[in-house]
Amino acid sequence: MRSDDDSWDITTSVGSTALFVATARALEAQKPDPLVVDPYAEMFSRAVGGDWAGVLDGDRPDHDLKTAEFGAHFVNFQAARTRYFDDYFRRAAEAGVRQVVILAAGLDSRAYRLPWPDGTTVFELDQPQVLEFKRRVLAEHGAQPTAERREIAVDLRDDWPQALRDAGFDPARPSAWIAEGLLIYLPASAQEQLFTGIDGLAAAGSHIAVEDGAPMPADDYAAALADEQAAGDDARIFHQLIYNQRCAPADEWFGARGWTATPTPLATWLDTLGRPVPSADVDAGPMIARITLVSGVKR
């Protein structure tokens, strides 16, 4: 279970979720008709090896990411989510924003993958050991960022706004923010602190994009947690890593503070992109139904 000051590397606790979503992106890239291709995702999975590489080679047909009821939908979900936030960053860049803040960057490769305009700085915030792994793998492959990239090794429950300023972020200029795959790993109080930090540093004309989600019903969460704990140490964990809390729907929180924030249910977005939406009785169905992608601009 989580604690207030826990930390992790790329293969443990919350760090392993970055590897899980990167591996899902790598599986999307193997399809004949990918929604998005992240060529760096596979490098990360292969650098860790074991099941993370085996699943890409078809050697682990029973892996969570390969099941029809969960894995296939989860890969579609990651592809759709990546596409949503890639499109968002293109709009922000076209609007003239040159400061990008990737909160909980994990193995997000947008600083290497997207065609940033000259003069763009991408700030990546995450735990020190996660950033260290990412740096090592990218350096081994000779990867070159397409913008100026600055790493900020920090816990997002601590004073990250100060760390961001110390790294050269200028609150007087507009910025574009992303919180993708992050909120569920923070208690409600830290989510509120995160939103407040963003709002405090965002000049007029700044952009925001958030992956938001309604918490699971308390009984369902308790049951899922108990199942996971009963399955023992070797089982893949997820419910033990999340807080199942929400400070407020992100569109409402930012909408009340001078931002235009539009929510798009993930199910609607999957449908728009021509990917199937799982029904409620399918393993991945309830998770996908709870998620909303939100983006907006500060007036």
3 state SS of 26: helix
Q: Does residue number 16 form part of the binding site for ligand SAM (CB under 6 A)?
A: no
Interface residue with ligand SAM among 148, 155, 192, 283 (CB under 6 A) is 155
Give dist(CA 238, CA 184) in Å, integer: 10
Minimum distance from residue 15 beta carbon to ligand SAM (Å): 5
Does the protein bind ligand SAM through residue 106 (CB under 6 A)? yes
CA distance 298 to 259: 4
Three-point CA angle 23, 24, 29, nearest 5°: 95
Task: Please work out the total of residues on this chain that contact ligand SAM, with binding judged by CB under 6 A.
Answer: 20
Q: What tokens were used for 291?
A: 């998620």
Question: Which residue in the set 99, 127, 206, 295 belongs to the binding site for ligand SAM (CB under 6 A)?
Answer: 127
Please report whether residue 35 would count as binding ligand SAM according to CB under 6 A: no
Angle formed by the axes of helices 71-94 and 15-29, nearest 10°: 90
Locate tokens 């939100």: which residue?
A: 294
Output 148 or 155, the one with its CB closest to ligand SAM: 155
Does position 212 interact with ligand SAM (CB under 6 A)? The reply is no
Applying CB under 6 A, which part among 9-17, 61-69, 230-238, 290-298 lies near ligand SAM?
A: 9-17
CA 21-286-273 angle, to 5 degrees, is 60
| 130 is a contact residue toward ligand SAM (CB under 6 A) | yes
Q: Does 185 bind ligand SAM (CB under 6 A)?
A: yes
Q: Which residue's Cβ has the minimum distance to ligand SAM?
A: 106
- 104 makes contact with ligand SAM (CB under 6 A): yes
CB of 177 to ligand SAM, least distance (A): 12
Residue 281: CB minimum distance to ligand SAM, A = 26
Chain residues 229-248 in contact with ligand SAM, contact rule CB under 6 A: none
User: In what helix (H) or strand (E) does residue 138 lie, and over which residues does it extend?
Assistant: helix 128-140
Answer yes or no whether residue 15 interacts with ligand SAM by CB under 6 A.
Answer: yes
> Given strand 207-213, what is the order of strands in its sheet?
148-153, 121-126, 99-103, 176-179, 207-213, 291-298, 259-265
Residue 43 interacts with ligand SAM (CB under 6 A): yes or no = no
- Short-list 64, 66, 63, 62, CA closest to 30: 66
Q: Which is nearer to ligand SAM, 132 or 203 (CB)?
A: 132
Contact 247, 179 (CB under 8 A): no
296 binds ligand SAM (CB under 6 A): no
Specify the DSSP element, H or E, that contains 197.
helix 188-201
Contact yes or no for 299/259 (Cβ under 8 A) = yes
- Binding residues for ligand SAM, rule: CB under 6 A, are 14-15, 17-18, 21, 104-108, 126-127, 130, 155-157, 180-182, 185
